[in-house]
């Protein structure tokens, strides 16, 4: 009996050793490049520091007080929220519509599918630069179309309210193909028998979509919403390349604001505070979503 127990123990120990060895590289790299930097960001946020000089002044929570009263930061956060609401509100419905069209029309519209997919192949930075020219007042696409129809120049990126919506449209242009392919895969996973059964029972395509396709897609719609939500709060590349947050602070996001503070103005102490603030907000939203969706899930199960 004792021998068996010790055998089990030695087996458990060998599993523990193997697991530790296999997991060590990943844990070490994450500790060095993710966990330690986060802790370090929080500690730098307590200093007044330009990032270059050796001496930095400990100022306690001064930076955090400043952040709480920083109009630009909260305006940027509001822009993040606008982007989030618009992204979920535009991208996901349009993507579902496109995927439904492709699913219904079948192979004969493959050409549409390939072209609709194209933006996914471009990097965010490239898209940002492309549209900074494509939406410009001189030599831009929208102005050219408006002039050929007899209208005047269209200034989309130069003035405050419309600049944000122009940027949000470009973000939609970038991400709709992603969700389109995602939902198309979802339609592909629906059992063909379900479709056939519903058609035999006399359902039209529209009825099939509303009563069968969409409900079966709903778990995917949920995770698309989470992805879009977290993504909108972290958004950076495209806007940094396209408008740099401007004009003024019209298209500023938390990430672009943090980046400019730290690496253009070299206020690394305060930059760290904004980064830490951003981290708290993003994590808070992520946790909130998790709890809400978990709550939903269990109520569905009952």
Partner 1 sequence: MNNSRVKSNIAWTVAGILAVFWFMITAIPFLFMVINSFKGQFEMLQKGVFDLPDSWFPTNFIGVLENGFLSYFFNSVILLAICLTILLFITACASYPLSRMKFKLRGPTYALIVACMSIPIHVTLIPIFKMSTVIRTYDSIFALIGPYVAFAIPISCYILTTFMTSIPASLEESAEINGCGKFRTFFHIILPLSKPGLSTLAIYNGVAIWNEFAFANTLTQSRKAQTLPLAISAFKGEHSMNIPVIMSVLVLTVLPMIILFIILQEKLVRGLMAGAVKG
Q: Please report, as residue ranges, which positions from 125 to 184 form the binding site for partner 1 (by CB under 8 A).
A: 125-126, 129-131, 133-134, 138-141, 144, 173, 177-178, 181-182
Task: Kindly state the greatest CA–CA separation across the chain.
Answer: 94
Q: Report the residue number, 164 or 232, with the smaller CB distance to partner 1.
A: 232
Listed residue (235, 220, 219) closest to 175, CA to CA: 235
Task: Name beta bridge partners: 47.
Answer: 58
Q: Quick one: 160 or 214, whose CB is closer to partner 1?
A: 214
Q: Whose Cβ is closer to partner 1: residue 160's or residue 198's?
A: 198
Nearer to partner 1, 186 or 250 (CB): 186
Question: Which residue number, 6 or 147, has a Cβ lying nearer to partner 1?
Answer: 147
Determine contact, residues 167/243, Cβ cutoff 8 Å: yes
119 vs 179: CA distance, rounded Å = 12
Q: Does 32 bind partner 1 (CB under 8 A)?
A: yes
**Phi-psi group of 82: left, alpha or beta (phi > 0 → left; psi -120 to 50 → alpha; rest → beta):** alpha
**Stretch binding partner 1 (CB under 8 A), from 58-66, 71-79, 82-90, 121-129:** 121-129
The span from the CA of 207 to the CA of 220, in Å, is 20
- Residue 218 C-beta: closest distance to partner 1, Å: 12
Rank residues 250 and 253 by Cβ distance to partner 1 and give the closer one.
Answer: 253
Facing residues of 48 across strands? 57
Out of 224, 239, 242, 250, name the contact with partner 1 by CB under 8 A: 224
Please pick, from the candidates 81, 190, 227, 246, the single residue that binds partner 1 as defined by CB under 8 A: 227
We find the least distance from the C-beta atom of residue 190 to partner 1, in angstroms, to be 16
Bridge partner list, 58 = 47
Number of shown-chain residues binding partner 1 (CB under 8 A): 91
Identity of the residue, 20 or 160, whose beta carbon is nearer to partner 1 in the bound complex: 20
Among 5, 121, 149, 200, which residue sits at the site for partner 1 (rule: CB under 8 A)?
121
The closest of 119, 117, 153 to 136, measured between CA atoms, is 153
Contact pattern for partner 1 over residues 193 through 212, marking x by CB under 8 A:
-----------xxx------
At closest approach, how far in Å is the CB of 60 from partner 1?
A: 19
Position of tokens 């192949």? 121
- Choose, by CB under 8 A, the member of 6, 9, 10, 23 that binds partner 1: 23
Q: Report d(CA 93, CA 119) in Å as an integer.
A: 18
Q: Which of 7, 61, 68, 115 binds partner 1 (CB under 8 A)?
A: 115
Closest separation in Å from C-beta 250 to partner 1: 20
Task: Give, as ranges, the residues between 84 and 113 that touch partner 1 (CB under 8 A).
Answer: 94, 97-98, 101, 104-105, 109, 112
The only residue of 65, 78, 211, 234 in contact with partner 1, by rule CB under 8 A: 234
Nearer to partner 1 (CB atom), residue 171 or residue 275? 275
Nearest distance from C-beta of residue 182 to partner 1, angstroms = 5
């Amino acid at each position: 009996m004792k021998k068996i127990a010790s055998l089990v123990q030695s087996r458990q120990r060998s599993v523990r050793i193997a697991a530790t060895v296999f997991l060590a590289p990943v844990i070490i790299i994450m500790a060095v490049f993710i966990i330690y930097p986060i802790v370090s960001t929080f500690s730098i946020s307590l200093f007044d520091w330009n990032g270059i000089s050796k001496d930095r002044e400990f100022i306690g929570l001064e930076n955090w007080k400043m952040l709480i009263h920083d109009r630009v930061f909260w305006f940027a956060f509001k822009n993040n929220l606008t982007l989030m609401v618009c992204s979920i509100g535009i991208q996901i419905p349009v993507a579902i519509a496109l995927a439904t069209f492709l699913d219904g029309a079948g192979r004969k519209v493959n050409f549409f599918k390939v072209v609709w997919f194209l933006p996914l192949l471009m990097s965010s930075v490239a898209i940002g630069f492309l549209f900074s020219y494509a939406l410009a007042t001189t030599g831009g696409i929208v102005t050219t179309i408006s002039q050929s129809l007899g209208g005047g120049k269209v200034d989309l990126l130069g003035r405050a309210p419309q600049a944000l919506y122009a940027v949000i449209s470009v973000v939609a242009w970038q991400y709709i193909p992603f969700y389109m392919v995602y939902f198309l895969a979802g339609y592909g996973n629906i059992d063909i028998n379900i479709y056939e059964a519903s058609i035999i029972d006399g359902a039209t395509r529209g009825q099939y979509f509303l009563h069968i396709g969409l409900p079966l897609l709903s778990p995917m719609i949920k995770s698309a919403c989470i992805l879009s939500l977290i993504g909108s709060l972290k958004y950076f590349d495209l806007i940094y390349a396209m408008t740099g947050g401007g004009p003024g602070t019209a298209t500023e996001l938390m990430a672009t604001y943090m980046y400019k503070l730290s690496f253009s103005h070299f206020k690394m102490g305060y930059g760290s505070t904004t980064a830490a603030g951003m981290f708290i907000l993003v994590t808070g939203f992520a946790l909130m979503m998790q709890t809400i969706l978990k709550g939903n899930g269990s109520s569905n199960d009952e």
